[in-house]
Structure 1
Amino acid sequence: MEAPLEGQPRTKIYAGPTGVVVLTDRRAVRGALVDVVAGAVGGSVRWVVLREKDLPRAERLALAVDLRAVLAEVGGALIVAGPDPLDGDAVHLPAAGPYPPPAVGLVGRSCHDTAELARLTTEHYVTLSPVYETRTKPGYGPALRPAGLAALVKASPVPVLALGGIETPAQVAACVEAGATGVAVLGAIMRADDPGESATTLGRAFQEAATRVTRTHLARSDEGQPSTATTGEEDQ
């Protein structure tokens, strides 16, 4: 996606992650990380973000190769956290940098407020967090909640993945209704007894909510009303 000319609005062009996006954490899983990801992929996950930043590059690269093989079987894609794509073409960067982003095929960025959104240049999507309190990063926040997420979605020049403490179908639905094009989850899959079943449950909740939102937009458009979706779960 090309950077906008100064003074011109950005066009939301989206070919990035959607649905349930899984973030890895090998320390949280009960078995092998590749097996857990394979289970999630069997439950309809098509996008995975490889974290494990503490590993030496050679070990992390080997893990990336294994995960790409799992995802390739279903036409999925691996995104690597950090500026090094590990011989791939997709990265997810922290809010702190680098700026400008590396010139790769797909670039995501972690954001938390309007100031960070305003720094975006050629990124294709962002995560907004934390939407809910999270066990992975206790005390991290304050939580945006769906109402705060919806406000930041409106301010974002690119599509948004909701992130942070999303573990239930109701939370997934609330994020979709707030305008997120996907939900990024870690604990809900990494700590699950059955990653495939958890992925299927959350994926179904995403599809059902996305269908409702689309129908609402179409109905409001037909009636000549603004097509802004709202959620009744803003106080979760």
Structure 2
Amino acid sequence: MADLPRILVITDRTQVRTTVENVVRAVCKEAGCTWVLLRDRDLPPLERRRMAQRLREVTNECKAKLSISSDAQLAADVGAEGVHLQRVSDIDGVRALLPKGWIGVSAHSVAEVRLAKEEGADYVTLSPIFPTESKPGYGPPLGLETIREASAIGIPIFALGGITPRSGFSCVEAGAYGFAVMGTVMRASSPGKVIRDYAAAFATSSSRA
């Protein structure tokens, strides 16, 4: 989808120095980030709903898009622009709730990327590309070659897992549409600066094209 932003910021309240809302406000207002995914799936439902409502207010202020991980009904209730799923089998039901929403799927192999494309996902996150502090036991790193192979399938690939501003350029060069970032931004003392550093990967890639 041509209108998908290139950088997706994923929340993790356990890593922030202040609050998730403050981090989101910083990356959106200071650095122009236009897409945030509420993860924090371990929160009790009521607390997660409240966080979703607060993030909806912040993203509306910044004219940014909001997606919700796993919970399509919550996404619909707060007026989010998308939902991110763990299983492709959930896509059909989500389309009924969010007919115009962005539907993403987590993928951990080329085969899963292909299945997501076949089932009608709008994008995938492909992970882990590199070793990651956020999920050290998440599986062996897939590396850039997996991005190259997956990018030929024809669905936007967001590289996820251990992506730094420096390695982000390599991911784009390998064929990633963009990248999803969590810990590097959540832990940062200056989240806005980190996002600007990530965005430089696209400017550098364009200049070499």
Which of the five TM-score ranges fits, normalised by the shorter chain?
Answer: 0.7 to 0.9
Matched, 1:38 2:25: yes
Gaps of 5+ in 2: none
Aligned to 1:177: 173
Q: Which runs of 4+ in 1 moved over 3 A?
A: none
* Amino acid paired to 1:27: T
Cα 1:134/1:95, change in 2 over 3 Å: farther
How far apart are the structure 2 equivalents of 1:51 and 1:97?
Answer: 19
**In 1: Cα distance, 2:177 partner to 2:73 partner:** 23
How far does residue 61 in structure 1 lie from its aligned partner after superposition? 1.7
Q: Distance in 2 between matches of 1:64 and 1:82?
A: 13
The answer to which structure has the higher helix fraction is 2
TM-score, normalised relative to structure 2: 0.87
Q: Tell me the distance in 1 between the aligned counterparts of 2:87 and 2:108.
A: 8
Residue 148 (1) aligns with residue 136 (2): no
Q: 1:118 to 1:146 in 2, by over 3 A?
A: closer
SS at match of 1:127: strand
Q: Which ranges in structure 1 are unaligned for 5 or more consecutive residues?
A: 1-12, 217-236
Contact preservation (8 Å) 2:110, 2:149 = no
Q: Distance in 2 between matches of 1:152 and 1:212?
A: 24
Greater C-alpha radius of gyration? 1
**SS at 1:212 equivalent:** helix
Of 66, 91, 94, which aligns to 2:83? Answer: 91
1:137 equivalent among 135, 138, 142: 135
Which residue number corresponds to residue 43 of structure 2? 55
Sequence identity, in percent?
Answer: 37
Alignment partner of 2:17: what SS? coil
Residue 63 of structure 2 aligns to a residue whose secondary structure is coil
Name the CA shift for 1:179/1:101 in 2 (closer, same or farther; >3 Å).
Answer: farther
Q: CA RMSD in A?
A: 1.8
